[in-house]
Structure 1
Amino acid sequence: MINGLRVKRNSLFTKLLLGFIVIIVISFIFNALSFKFFTGSIREEVIMYNKSNMSNTVSKYEEHFQLMEEVAMSFYNNRNVTVLSRDKTNIFAMNDLALEFSTLVTNYKNLGLDNMFLYNGRHSFLVDKSGLMKEDDMFAKQYISPEYDAAFWAKQFDEDYSMRIFPAADFTRKMFNGSIEPAGKLFPVIIKSKLQKQYYIAALLDASAIYHKYHLSVSDFFYMADGSGNLYYSSGTQGQTVSPQSFDATGHYYTKNDNYYFYAKGEKSGLTYVNVIPNQNIASKISRLSAILVLLLAISIVLSLLISVLLSIRFKSPIQKIIDSMYKMNPNIQLGSKINEFNAIVDNLRTIIASNRSIHKDLQNKNTLLKKYGYWNKVKSIPIGSRDVQNLIDTSRPYFFVMFHIHFTRRFHELITEEQKKSHILEFIQLNIQQAFPQSETVQSEKDLIFSIVFADPDASGDLRNVLDSMKHVFDTDSEYYYVTIAFNPIQYSPSGFTAAYDEAREMVSRRKLNDETQIITDNTDQQPDFHLTPSEEKEFTAHLAAGNEADIMQMIGRMMSRLRANGTAEQYRQLANEVVSKTLLALLLQNINAGDLQEELSPYEQIKEFVSEEQFDDFFRSLIRYAVTLMYEKRMEKDTIIDYVLAYMEQHYGDDIGPDDVAEKLNLSSGYMCKYIKNKTGKTFGDCLDDIRIMKAKQILEATDCKIHEVAVQVGYQNANSFTRMFRRLTGVTPGEYRREKRVVIAADIQ
């Protein structure tokens, strides 16, 4: 029996069995020690993971605040801000600045801007994305918050700092019907310049949008606090925070009340960022991983070498497929395995590859936006503070510069939404330019301006012109909705001339001729001068308008339009129309006449932008002048005893040497009171009224008789012919002799 036992002990089965037992025991001991080691390591890895997430979150927040400061500081060198610091009434600078704020808020969503505004404390006005705002409208209607009322914003002028971020607060907005609507949770940020004390730039950042963009954590409870423990932002409804003593300067986390508090302090803002992770989250991850390790340990003990052999065979094929897929970054893995772990790995790998592609695409989109932002800054001569943005733009090669100025018709505004308006033209231009010239960038700099920077060989100007001609054909088919002015210089610009190219293109756009077709302008040699009325023309226009001489005014405007008919640009026609409107409104204002009806539906200045033919301008002038003359006539028809007597006396004695004292004595008034009264009622002095009547009478004599100039002067009360000639020219724009000849030519033409 003993020998039998010895034989069995030395048998192959026994040896193998003992060997397996030894292997199993060693494996068990090794796995038990490994289990204990990895349990501690897993906890540390989970903690390191959350610390890394906290660090990334802080880095993104701080970079965002830094970028916000750079964007705001760029406005201190802005031309419109400089103009407004000297002239608070410059409406053009206000509109341009508001447009820049609106473009920044609308086109650069990655900034998280809800609004940006300039607050001028010295003149007590604000300009935000919507234009000029009153303090009460801004802080008591548009952005209402008990913590940030008008007094708070005004107080900031006395504070000494360059940039300060204030705690996020829930802002509300008062609607037109009186209801209160939420405006969002916003971070107020104020950026000051040491050189400009009378105003500052402020931004309202969407706190929730920034949180969702940059926050990385398995827990949704996140908050920010300053060094005193004051809460700046909380992602949840919990308003609690911790004392600043809890944040050790050398540590990264601490535990309290079954929670892990991961925190880090921002270098730029000085704020402390805190992620709160419930301990049960970390414990559940460790328990789940521990269960997997125990299961694997049990399987390894039971199945031993048999499973290892089988698995070695079955491991090779799927692992090789996974490795090949990882090298090729191909998410379409056909594993064909029934092992859940492999399928889980493949599913996670698919998710990782898809996520990587999504991140790569998102990064490309952001780089594209940053590149456009960089080129936009270049053409606007705005310093680029970020080196990353500088590296994205090409400043080493010459390029062609093309500008598209889009003029939308009223029908376009009626049928197409604002969003479609912004995307339709831009996408079409970008697609056509990009297809022909892949190394090009197309940027929308203003709501009606798009420019393309085309990097190509110097001899490619002909190909580029062909592309523009093809685009013109498409634009012309949509002329009912819009027309385009394309400025293109066939000569390349140097790498350092972005601003010069932009300014030159803007000037070329202004040379557009008056029609409703898409025009391609390539000539940049002669700059067209601005069209303005001469001083004598202004006086003649004002005199005719005051006298109600509609025909003379239209004849005068006709002469001006004839000067533009040969080589005048559409911009010069609009300048002429703007001058006529301005002088007309000013004349009505001086007469204390309300011209509000002119702007009930569409202001004259907006109407002028729609005109594409000389006939439209002519109809507009006739309607405007007829309306103004009618208002002045109605004003004159209003009974005023003193004015009526003075004008009647002048009509009867215009040929005599009369003065204010003569008329005032007959009215039993002092001459000073009478002159002031006339000025207030008519907008003219006593002498202006008398000169108007004398010149009107002189024109009648010149038309009806052949009297010599000095004889006409004496008849209408001027003892000196030179004085009469100067006054006649000042009020009519021509000399008496020229006036007589012009009238007789017109009469002769009418007779024929």
Structure 2
Amino acid sequence: MVINSLRVKRNSLFAKLLLGFIVIIVISFIFNVLSFKFFTVSIHDEVVLYNKLNMSNTVSKYEEHFQLMGEVATNFYNNTNVTALSRDKTNFFAMNDLAVEFTTLVMNYKNLGLDNLFLYNGRHSFLVDKSGLMKEDEMFAKQYISAKYDTAFWAKQFDEDFYMRIYPAADFTRQTLHGLIEPVGKLFPVIVKSKLQKHYYIAALLDAEALYEKYHLSVSDLFYIADAGGTLYYSSNAQGQTVTPQSLAASGNYYMKNDNYYFYAQGEKTGFTYVNVVPNQNIAAKKSRLSAILILLLAVSLALSLIISVLLSIRIKSPIQKIIESMYKMNPNIQLGSKINEFNAIVDNMRTIIASNRSIHKDLQNKNTLLKKYGYWNKVKSIPIGSRDVQSLIDTSKPYFFVMFHLHFTRRFHELITEEQKKSHILEFIQLNIQLAFPQSETVQSEKDLIFSIVFAGADASGTLRGVLDKMKRVFDMDSEYYYVTIAFKPAPYSPSGFTAAYDEGREMIRRRRLNGETQIVSNFAGPHQDFHLTPSEDKEFAVRLAAANEADIMTMIGRMMNRLRANGTAEQYRQLAREIVSKTLLALVLQNINAGALQEELSPYEQIKEFVSEEQYDDFFRSLIGYAATLMNDKRMEKDSIIDFALTYMEQHYGDDIGPDAVAEKLNLSSGYMCKYIKNKTGKTFGDFLDDIRIMKAKEILESTDCKIHEVALHVGYQNANSFTRMFRRLTGITPGEYRREKRIDVASNIQ
């Protein structure tokens, strides 16, 4: 009996599970011991490899940076301003433009350590840097003072023969306006020369500490750079540290000396040697720390494995025993008290088998409902239905009413309710109300904001269906703060074959929604919706007035367009008008090289338009948009430029004379070709464009304030031919001078009333 009892226990599920777990633990323990032994041997190599990779990355970044600075400086040898200064040292326009370019580069590369960039002209003894024109003594005896790099050093570089040379970093100071000396930083002088230009060169000053902070990768802070001869170029240690090239050549990428590891690499472009010094105790301590952690983890994992094995064996055995007992007793109300999904699934399946008839019937019913909705969705979308099972579920033999619901959610709704909630709640509400009145109906969500219902009923049910929709509208209106609905309902039933036509007509009826924030029922279909677009003359007039930043005229023009929509315009047409105004405004700003990013910081104009439900909102939006754009246009126009300012001022004073580019260029001591090209490049408009704009602007003032005849106005603003004046006026404003005068007088009369 004792032997049989032991045999039974040995063959029990608990014993088998526990034995299996122990075998797995033993195998895992052996594997971990071998892995630990291997890891302790290779950890040193991994730490060394890690430092090698860090060294390689540091060298690569430094070399790329020095090469980039060389390319930046070299590009200036082809710069038109540098060429102009090489020929004429008094060309102050070129100096100013070059200083602006240097300032821009320094700002763009500030995070890359570029402190300054300058041109040194040895023939005429002057420099141009980011602050402008500067004398040699001012630059090297006040702004960048260094015992190592004095004025004589920089002048001597004209006699040296090289393309690009990087000099060791040195501490620079500057003298303030009060005579005090303040530090500038430790800087690398970088000089780039050209064999074709002997009398000037381009130089850069790089912040050595900034480069160190950006590119140095190591667990140690001791880093230095030396050239092939052992000259120290930079050291992160204040006392400095040198290394001989012979010691670096003794081994591969590192060597050990005085309990320190020296990791080094040589740059391909500069030939510099970059060295990281890592104390040996850092590597040894890391190795010991990791070894201790591994031993502790191995011991803890072994103990936990044994405890978990016993507990799991017990927890697996107990539910199985209960399941077996339940099977014997055919008791579906078994309570396992287990969190194991598989055991719970077995119990659930047992209960399912007992109640199979009711469950199978319910599943088939749900499946058929889903397939039926899928079938109707395919019918309205004109998608062929390949499954005969689906075809048998949908009814294509009876007439029906088609109702479409378009949902529009306000920003308030999005802030309070999730996407899934808004879809399910409204869909369920619509489906419930339709089915209560018409059990033979199907409601399907075809898109995220579109729901349609197919209602099978006779033609006399139109009034009942309309009553249901009116009731739903009253409910929707109570939540108008959060959403509103457009309901498309054609009172006449559709033929059985017209599913796609019904869907398309519903979409068109949705577009006929009027402009307000309430739920609407649209019942008429009078053909496709008419889109709203600006006429060619309106398009041209809008562009001209926006280019002139004439806010008042633009708003008057937009007011006329909105008047066209006020009687019969739909919400969609208002949105189309707004989208066209936005797109043309943004295009005008882009053509003027104006950054309009602030328009889209919070919500883009196109997204804002979707929220509008009244003319007041559109009017406020247009005023804000046009006002902002006009401000940007005026700010752009107010940017100072000596050549352009003089030319515009001259045209303002002599617009009535027969003037041309030659007369203005002569005043500026420039060629007319250069001046015209300069104005075109800077503003995007020609000399003639500016002159015509000024003349037409002056003509508008005369037309508004006097009764002068058209040919008299033309002569006054510089046009000898009245026909030429009229053509130009129409091209820039979209209307003739006479039409402009009449419109202005009508506006004045309406304001008086």
- When normalised by structure 2's length, the TM-score is 0.52
| Amino acid paired to 1:580 | I
2:203 corresponds to? none
1:255-310 deviation per Cα after TM superposition (whole angstroms, max 9, x unaligned): xxxxxxxxxxxxxxxxxxxxxxxxxxxxx9xxx9xxx9xxxxxxxxxxxxxxxxxx
Decide whether the 8 Å contact of 1:536 with 1:730 is kept in 2.
Answer: no
Q: Which whole-Å deviations, capped at 9, do the CAs of 1:201-257 have from their partners, x for residues lacking one?
A: xxxxxxxxxxxxxxxxxxxxxxxxxxxxxxxxxxxxxxxxxxxxxxxxxxxxxxxxx
Deviation track 1:610-662 (CA, whole Å, cap 9, x = no partner) reads 11111111111111111111111111111123332332233233334444555
SS at match of 1:382: coil
> What residue number does 2:494 align with?
493
Q: How does 1:108-119 map to 2 (within 5 A)?
A: none
What are the superposed Cα offsets for residues 671-712 of structure 1, whole Å, 9 maximum, x if unpaired? Answer: 665555444433434443332222111101101211111221
* Aligned partners of 1:436 and 1:467 also within 8 Å: yes
**Within-5 A mapping of 1:200-211:** none
**CA distance in 2: counterparts of 1:394 and 1:661, whole angstroms:** 83
Q: Which residue of 1 aligns with 2:451?
A: 450
Partner Cα separation in structure 2 for residue 398 and residue 657 of structure 1: 78
Question: What is the alpha-carbon distance in structure 1 between the residues aligned to residue 647 and residue 349 of structure 2?
Answer: 97
Secondary structure in 2 aligned to 1:404? Answer: strand
Going from structure 1 to structure 2, the CA distance change for 1:352 and 1:576 (only over 3 Å counts) comes to same
1:734-749 equivalence runs, <5 A:
734-749=735-750
Q: Indicate the residue corresponding to 1:709 in structure 2.
A: 710
What is the DSSP-based 3-state SS (H/G/I as helix, E as strand, rest coil) of the residue aligned with 1:610?
A: coil
Q: How many Å separate the matches in 1 of 2:376 and 2:459?
A: 21
Deviation at 1:495, TM superposition (A): 2.2
Q: Note the 1:158-557 alignment, pairs <5 A.
A: 351-352=352-353, 354-557=355-558
Aligned to 1:50: none
TM-aligned CA deviation for residue 460 of structure 1: 1.3
Contact 1:374 1:390 in 2 (8 A): yes
1:128-168 deviation line (CA, Å, top 9, x unaligned): xxxxxxxxxxxxxxxxxxxxxxxxxxxxxxxxxxxxxxxxx
Partner SS state of residue 517, structure 1: coil
Pair 1:536–1:470, CA change in 2 (3 A):
same
5+ residue gaps, structure 1, are: 1-283, 293-330, 333-346
% identical aligned pairs: 84
Distance 1:498 1:662 in 2: 74
**Aligned residue in 1 for 2:565:** 564
The letter for the 1-side match of 2:596 is A
Q: Is the 8 A contact 2:352 2:359 kept in 1?
A: no
Contact 1:510 1:569 in 2 (8 A): yes
Q: Where does residue 588 of structure 1 map in the other structure?
A: 589
SS at match of 1:573: helix
CA distance in 2 between partners of 1:468 and 1:737 (Å): 55
Asked if the contact 1:488/1:522 (under 8 Å) is kept, the reply is yes
Q: Do 1:380 and 1:499's aligned partners in 2 also have CA atoms closer than 8 Å?
A: yes
The one-letter code of the counterpart of 2:625 is: L
Distance 1:378 1:688 in 2: 59
Contact 2:399 2:496 in 1 (8 A): yes
Change in 2 beyond 3 A, CA 1:685/1:361: farther
Number of corresponding residues: 418
CA RMSD of aligned residues (A): 3.2
Aligned to 2:577: 576
1:453 and 1:663 map into 2 onto residues whose CA distance is 76
Call closer, same or farther: CA 1:677–1:349 in 2, change over 3 Å: same
Q: TM-score, normalised by structure 1?
A: 0.52
Shift in CA distance, 666/529, structure 1 to aligned 2, threshold 3 Å: farther
Cα distance in 2 for partners of 1:493, 1:670 equals 77
**What's the offset of the Cα at 1:726?**
3.1
In 2 relative to 1, CA 636–431 (structure 1 residues): closer, same or farther, beyond 3 Å? same
**Conserved? CA contact 1:591–1:681, under 8 Å:** no
How far the C-alpha of 1:386 sits from its partner, in A, is 3.1
Q: 3-state SS of the aligned residue for 2:373? A: helix
Q: After superposition, give the CA deviation of every residue in 1:56-87 in whole Å (9 maximum; x if it has no partner).
A: xxxxxxxxxxxxxxxxxxxxxxxxxxxxxxxx
Distance 1:707 1:348, change over 3 A: closer
Other-structure match for 1:727: 728
Matching residue's letter, 1:384? I
CA distance in 2, matches of 1:603, 1:358: 51
Q: Which letter does structure 2 place at the counterpart of 1:641?
A: S
Please state how far the C-alpha of 1:473 moved relative to its aligned partner: 0.8
Please say if residues 728 and 736 of structure 1, whose CA atoms lie closer than 8 Å, have aligned partners that are also in contact.
Answer: yes
Q: Is contact 1:655-1:714 (8 Å) kept?
A: yes
Once the two structures are TM-superposed, the CA of residue 603 in structure 1 deviates from its matched residue by: 0.8
Give the equivalent residue in structure 2 for 1:628: 629
| SS of equivalent to 1:425 | helix
One-letter amino acid matched to 1:619: D
The amino acid of 2:494's aligned partner reads Y
Q: How far did residue 510 of structure 1 move? A: 0.8
Tell me, in whole angstroms, the C-alpha distance in 1 between the residues paired with 2:481 and 2:450: 19
Unaligned stretches of 5+ in structure 2?
Answer: 1-319, 334-347
Q: 2-side partners of 1:639 and 1:575: how far apart?
A: 38
Judge which range, 675-684 or 611-620, deviates more.
675-684
- Give the alignment of 1:659-678 within 5 angstroms: 659-660=660-661, 663-664=664-665, 667=668, 674-678=675-679
Provide closer, same or farther for how the CA distance between residues 683 and 530 of structure 1 changes in structure 2, counting only shifts above 3 A: farther
What is the alpha-carbon distance in structure 2 between the residues aligned to residue 456 and residue 539 of structure 1? 54
